[in-house]
């Protein structure tokens, strides 16, 4: 069975939209519809019902949705294991990474990896940490680089690579920074944090709670770099890795107030990594 058909089906099922799935897969909508129709012909069942602008997975589709990730994983694992028997480092390396790691940390290693293993087709997907976590669990991604969650799933290995100090920051001329003891007045000023139910947001909230900080009004923005820009416009205060701390931003907290955040590699414990993935892990852990 063509695993591209299964991946297309899973994307439509996840997004509940042919249009959104075509956009994510970079296909025309007619091409995507042909893939789904071809798969439906193979299993001799309709996989989706259209309801308005959305699609609903049929009973047959639900069964396939449960089984498809394992089918894809088994086929890809078998192909990769056959390639790896030669000992060569080749094939595709498909990893997910958070935007922050992909922009600030991974490039330090990626050029060396690409130069060393030129037979590897590296495919990097920028993705939120919590979604990457789920996709590694489901087998859709072999591994991911992300901020570790507060509660680690025992089905995944967590290899610590980076540990970054966090700081409570605001603009150096912001009213909060002029207070005699700014940390006692944090709840009187808006705080800008990542969206709710994301790994960084959960981490930041735990850090602030442990530091005895009570939040007042909370605003949200998707990426730490965007949050840093908003704080630089005197729109509030936030938590940031010290890597992003530069004028006009000013730290209000000591190193002892907040603990560091852990970031690194995750992969399934019940699966042997491909040669390409093992070499990336070795490179990241060696530095």
Give domain status of residue 12, yes or no.
yes
Q: How far apart are CA 273 and CA 190, in angstroms?
A: 45
Helix (H, G, I), strand (E, B) or coil at 287: coil
**Is residue 76 a part of any domain in this protein?**
no
Q: Report whether 147 contacts 265 (CB < 8 A).
A: no
Give the pLDDT confidence of 179-222 residue by residue, as tens digits: 999 999 999 999 999 999 999 999 999 999 999 999 999 999 99
Q: Which of 69, 96, 112 is the last residue of a domain?
A: 69
**Chain length of the chain:** 287
Q: Which domain holds residue 201?
A: 166-259
**Using 50, 70 and 90 to split pLDDT, how confident is the model at 158?**
very high
| Number of compact structural domains in the chain | 3
Q: Does any domain span residue 79?
A: no
- Residue whose C-alpha is closest to residue 124's, from 145, 97, 105: 97
Q: Can you give the CATH number for the domain in which 104 is found?
A: 3.40.190.10
Q: What is the pLDDT of residues 75-89, one digit of tens each?
A: 877 776 777 676 788
> Residue 248: is the preceding peptide bond cis (ω within 30°)?
yes
């Amino acid at each position: 069975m063509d695993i591209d058909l299964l991946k297309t089906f899973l994307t439509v099922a996840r997004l509940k939209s042919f249009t959104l799935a075509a956009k994510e897969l970079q296909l025309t909508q007619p091409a995507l519809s042909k893939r789904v129709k071809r798969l439906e012909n193979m299993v001799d069942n309709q996989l989706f019902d259209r309801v308005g602008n959305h699609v609903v997975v049929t009973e047959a589709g639900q069964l396939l949705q449960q089984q498809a990730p394992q089918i894809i994983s088994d086929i890809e694992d078998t192909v990769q294991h056959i390639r790896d028997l030669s000992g060569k480092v080749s094939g595709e390396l498909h990893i997910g990474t958070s935007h922050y790691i992909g922009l600030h940390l991974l490039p330090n290693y990626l050029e060396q990896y690409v130069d060393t293993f030129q037979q590897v087709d590296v495919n990097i997907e920028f993705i939120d940490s919590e979604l990457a976590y789920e996709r590694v669990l489901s087998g859709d991604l072999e591994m991911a680089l992300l901020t570790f969650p507060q509660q680690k799933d025992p089905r995944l290995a967590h290899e610590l690579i980076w540990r970054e100090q966090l700081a409570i920051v605001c603009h150096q001329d912001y009213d909060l920074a002029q207070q005699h003891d700014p940390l006692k007045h944090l709840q009187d000023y808006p705080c800008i944090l990542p969206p709710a139910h994301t790994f960084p947001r959960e981490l930041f909230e735990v850090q602030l709670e442990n530091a005895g900080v009570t939040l007042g009004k909370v605003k949200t923005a998707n990426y730490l770099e965007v949050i840093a820009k908003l704080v630089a416009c005197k729109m509030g205060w936030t938590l940031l890795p010290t890597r992003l701390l530069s004028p006009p931003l000013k730290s209000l907290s000591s190193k002892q107030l907040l603990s560091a955040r852990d970031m690194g590699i995750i992969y399934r414990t019940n699966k042997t990594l491909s040669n390409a993935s093992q070499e990336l892990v070795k490179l990241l852990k060696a530095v």
